[in-house]
Amino acid sequence: MTLAKRIIPCLDVDAGNVVKGINFSDVKIAGDPVFFAKKYTHEGADEIVFLDINASHEGREALKTVIKEVARVINIPFTVGGGIRNLHDAREILLSGADKVSINTAAVKNPELVSQLMNLFGKQCVVVAIDVKRHHVGHSTEKKSCWFEVRILGGREGTGIEAIEWAKKVEKLGAGEILLTSIDKDGTENGYDLELIRAISRAVRIPVIASGGCGSQEHILEVFRRTDVEAALAASIFHYEKATVNSVKQYLNENGVNVRI
């Protein structure tokens, strides 16, 4: 029997509030992280991801007080990312109640940190977040191809690193999971970037979480049917009550996707 697919609500947090933007900008306040975390746990979420979206850009640690408050009200796996620069930061986040840490900027700047985290805390604790921007190649008269660039500091800075090769590298370094976000699709609610997700999930053997663009339960069904991802992350659909975690799982189950109900 295949492993159950996971549904993961995401809490993008800025200044203690859950926020939601489009293409990593135009951010608006959506509500209280503790309220949302408790609600989604009761609705049957498989995990919660908490991303302090400006911590790396602002050169500070993630908000440990808020992380502790969220950890207290949930009993499901809890991943925290944002502002984790070294082993000390990761340890502090795990001691605050997180089960996993997610790193992006720090992994690009110091790839060995991935291996160090794995050796100290175990592979199951290490999530590498890959934020990707699509670049088109070729003139308008030609058939355009594209390449996928890894971006850091909350999407603000390009790296010139090709995302598929980077995914393979972080797997070798010891990442237990990849959180893959399409910056182009983020907040648009018009569906996941299936081409990107398919390419990355085929290139690695570790679990890939699809993120960016979910606007309906149909999009979640589509990403599970058309790619090899193990989990789908979503925010707007749940924050603005277009669907509940429970209703999405019922829909997936009715359409032949193995989920925990």
Give dist(CA 93, CA 75) in Å, integer.
Answer: 17
At position 75, the amino acid (one-letter code) is N
As to burial, measured by CB atoms within 10 angstroms (0-12 exposed, 13-18 middle, 19+ buried), residue 31 is: middle
Q: Which of 89, 131, 186, 193 is catalytic?
A: 131
DSSP reduced 3-state for 92: helix
Count the neighbouring beta carbons within 10 Å of the beta carbon of residue 261: 10
Annotated catalytic residue 32: no
Classify strands 126-137 and 145-152 as parallel, antiparallel or unpaired: antiparallel
Q: Which of 12, 46, 89, 193 is catalytic?
A: 12
Largest separation between any pair of C-alpha atoms in the chain: 57
DSSP reduced 3-state for 157: strand
Give dist(CA 245, CA 109) in Å, integer.
Answer: 35
Give dist(CA 156, CA 15) in Å, integer.
Answer: 18
Annotated catalytic residue 131: yes
| 219 contacts 251 by C-beta, under 8 angstroms | no
SS (H, E, C) 166-195: HHHHHHHHCCCEEEEEECCCCCCCCCCCHH
- Residues written for the chain: 261
Would you please indicate which residues are annotated as catalytic (active-site) residues?
12, 131
